[in-house]
Amino acid sequence: KGSLRYALSQTGPRTIVFDVAGLIELKSGLNISKGDVTIAGQTAPGEGITLTGENFYLKGAENVIIRYLHFRHGQATAKDDSFYVQASQNIMIDHCSFTYGSDEDCSARNTENLTIQWSIVTNGVRTHSMGGLQEWSSESIHHCLWGNQNDRNPKAKGIMDFTNNVLYNWGEHPFVAGGNSGGNGWGNLVNNYFIAGLDTKYPDYAVD
Separation between Cα atoms, residue 195 and residue 167, nearest integer Å:
6
Separation between Cα atoms, residue 67 and residue 170, nearest integer Å:
26
What was the pLDDT predicted at 137? Answer: 93
Question: Other CB atoms closer than 10 Å to residue 27's CB: what's the count?
Answer: 9
What was the pLDDT predicted at 179? Answer: 66
What was the pLDDT predicted at 74? Answer: 83
CA-wise closest residue to 83 among 56, 123, 110: 56
For 120-141, the pLDDT digits (tens) are 999 999 888 999 999 999 999 9
Q: Is 188 helix (H, G, I), strand (E, B) or coil?
A: strand
Backbone angles phi, psi at 164, to 5 degrees: 55, 40
Q: Determine which helix (DSSP H) or strand (DSSP E) holds 17, and give its type and residue range.
A: none
Mean pLDDT of 99-122: 96
What was the pLDDT predicted at 178? Answer: 81
Give the chain's count of helices (H) and strands (E).
Answer: 1, 21
- Catalytic option among 72, 109, 126, 152: 152
For 36-85, the pLDDT digits (tens) are 999 999 999 999 999 999 999 999 999 999 999 999 998 766 678 999 99
Question: b or e along 100-121 (b: 16 or more beta carbons within 10 Å of the residue's beta carbon)?
Answer: bbbbbbbbbbebbebebbebbb
Quick check: is 152 catalytic?
yes
